């Protein structure tokens, strides 16, 4: 049986944990709101871009641009996006598990990795895969430039015929409480990317030409895809952390309740025992005096 003081100590410890989890939840909620606003702010650009892409690609053949060309080669590059920090439920492990499945399906000697986020780097660093590049410590100040840099890196690899396919694995933000790891093929650009954007084809005057505009559009499209994925992953991370910390705060509350009951019971028992001792002692004294 734990002593009174032990129980009290545990209650205090759980209380301070609860304070931390509650604070983390509030911080995650505030950051989540900002991250969601960014996703919404990027939408006008992204939607219009998809529409233009659909318009231009439907008229162009595969040979119109090297980023569209399907190749037979087996060399895959896989970009894995996780958070830098944990304490976000299964957020990181889900996406890592998904990526590991895909990495194992690929031909091991031909696959190269680009890891984004500390968790992905730490996981794959200890395993026998080739990490071409990592990107960590930027999440707090995520900007379009980060996405552009990453996208330009693997586009140059692709155009330099060092890789034949580029895939992105990240957590899709479905709702505050739900994130799902998804895989997206980035290169060659799937021809379905611009489809369903709701564009009827228009006879434009092009300047300088349709092909030149397409050549400008495709790299920007890829950068935007990466940017969107990074934003979704960030929003997902905060959502996951918020949910996890909410659960932790609730668990702490339940634990405090249980411990408090235990504490009261122990206290009562102690008082009862003391009373019995006093009564017993008094009885003994009385008997001694009478004798």
Partner 1 sequence: MADRLSLEIATPMRLVTAETADEVVIPGIEGYFGVLPGHAPFLTTLGIGRLTYRQGREERHLAVAGGFAEVRNDKVIVLADTAETPEEIDRARAERSRERAERRLAGRSQEEVDHMRCQAALARALTRIQVAERGR
* Segment lying near partner 1 (by CB under 8 A), choices 18-26, 35-43, 62-70, 108-116: 35-43
Instruction: State the nearest-atom distance from the C-beta of 131 to partner 1, in Å.
Output: 27
Query: Left, alpha or beta for 101 (phi > 0: left; psi -120 to 50: alpha)?
Result: alpha
Segment (H or E) for 95: helix 91-105
For partner 1, the binding residues in 147-166 under the rule CB under 8 A are: none
CA dihedral 16, 21, 27, 30 (to 10 degrees): -130
Instruction: State the nearest-atom distance from the C-beta of 49 to partner 1, in Å.
Output: 6
Contact between 48 and partner 1 per CB under 8 A: yes
Contact between 2 and partner 1 per CB under 8 A: no
CA nearest 34: which of 180, 225, 235?
235
Candidates 49, 151, 240, 266; binder of partner 1 (CB under 8 A) is: 49
Candidates 223, 229, 248, 256; binder of partner 1 (CB under 8 A) is: 223
Contact between 204 and partner 1 per CB under 8 A: yes
Contact between 216 and partner 1 per CB under 8 A: yes
Instruction: State the nearest-atom distance from the C-beta of 213 to partner 1, in Å.
Output: 6
Candidates 146, 184, 220, 262; binder of partner 1 (CB under 8 A) is: 220
* Segment lying near partner 1 (by CB under 8 A), choices 3-11, 84-92, 162-170, 205-213: 205-213
By beta-carbon proximity to partner 1, the closer residue of 212 and 282 is 212
- Angle (CA) 147-70-61 rounded to 5° is 95
Contact between 102 and partner 1 per CB under 8 A: no
Please state whether beta strands 165-175 and 76-81 pair in parallel, antiparallel, or not at all (unpaired). Answer: parallel
Candidates 52, 81, 252, 256; binder of partner 1 (CB under 8 A) is: 52
Q: Is the CB of residue 197 less than 8 Å from the CB of residue 54?
A: yes
Determine whether 171 is exposed, middle or buried from the number of CB atoms within 10 Å of its CB (0-12, 13-18, 19+).
buried
- Angle (CA) 158-162-163 rounded to 5° is 60
Instruction: State the nearest-atom distance from the C-beta of 169 to partner 1, in Å.
Output: 22
Contact between 35 and partner 1 per CB under 8 A: no
Question: Tokens at residue 259, please?
Answer: 């411990």
Contact between 201 and partner 1 per CB under 8 A: no
Q: Is the CB of residue 151 less than 8 Å from the CB of residue 223?
A: yes
Contact between 227 and partner 1 per CB under 8 A: yes
Residues 6 or more apart from 107 whose CB is under 8 A from it?
A: 74, 76
Contact between 72 and partner 1 per CB under 8 A: no
d(CA 167, CA 99): 10
Task: Give Dmax (Cα) for the chain.
Answer: 122
By beta-carbon proximity to partner 1, the closer residue of 143 and 279 is 143
Instruction: State the nearest-atom distance from the C-beta of 170 to partner 1, in Å.
Output: 17
Q: Which residue has the tokens 């060659």?
A: 188
d(CA 233, CA 173): 7
Q: Which residues bind partner 1 (CB under 8 A)?
A: 38, 41-42, 44-46, 48-49, 52, 143-144, 202-208, 210, 212-213, 216-217, 220, 223-224, 227
């Amino acid at each position: 049986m734990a002593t009174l003081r032990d129980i009290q100590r545990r209650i205090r410890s759980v209380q301070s944990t609860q304070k931390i989890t509650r604070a983390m939840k509030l911080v995650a909620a505030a950051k989540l709101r900002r991250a969601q606003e960014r996703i919404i702010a990027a939408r006008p650009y992204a939607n219009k871009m998809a529409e233009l892409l659909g318009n231009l690609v439907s008229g162009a053949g595969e040979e119109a641009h090297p980023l569209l060309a399907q190749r037979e080669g087996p060399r895959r590059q896989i970009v894995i996006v996780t958070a830098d920090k944990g304490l976000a439920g299964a957020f990181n492990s889900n996406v890592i598990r998904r990526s590991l499945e895909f990495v194992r399906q690929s031909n091991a000697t031909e696959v190269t990795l680009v890891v984004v986020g500390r968790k992905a780097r730490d996981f794959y660093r200890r395993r026998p895969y080739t990490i071409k590049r990592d990107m960590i410590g930027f999440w707090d100040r995520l900007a379009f430039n980060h996405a552009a840099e990453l996208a330009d890196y693997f586009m140059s690899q692709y155009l330099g015929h060092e890789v034949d396919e580029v895939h992105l694995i990240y957590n899709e933000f479905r709702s505050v409480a739900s994130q799902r790891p998804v895989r997206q093929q980035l290169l060659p650009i799937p021809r379905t990317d611009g489809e369903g954007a709701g564009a009827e084809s228009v006879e434009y005057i092009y300047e300088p030409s349709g092909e030149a505009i397409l050549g400008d559009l495709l790299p920007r499209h890829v950068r935007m895809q990466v940017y969107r994925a990074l934003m979704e992953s960030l929003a997902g991370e905060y959502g996951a952390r918020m949910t996890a910390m909410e659960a932790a705060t609730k668990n702490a509350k339940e634990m405090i309740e249980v411990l408090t009951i235990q504490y009261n019971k122990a206290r009562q028992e102690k008082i009862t025992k003391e009373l019995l001792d006093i009564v017993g002692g008094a009885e003994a004294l009385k008997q001694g005096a009478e004798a």
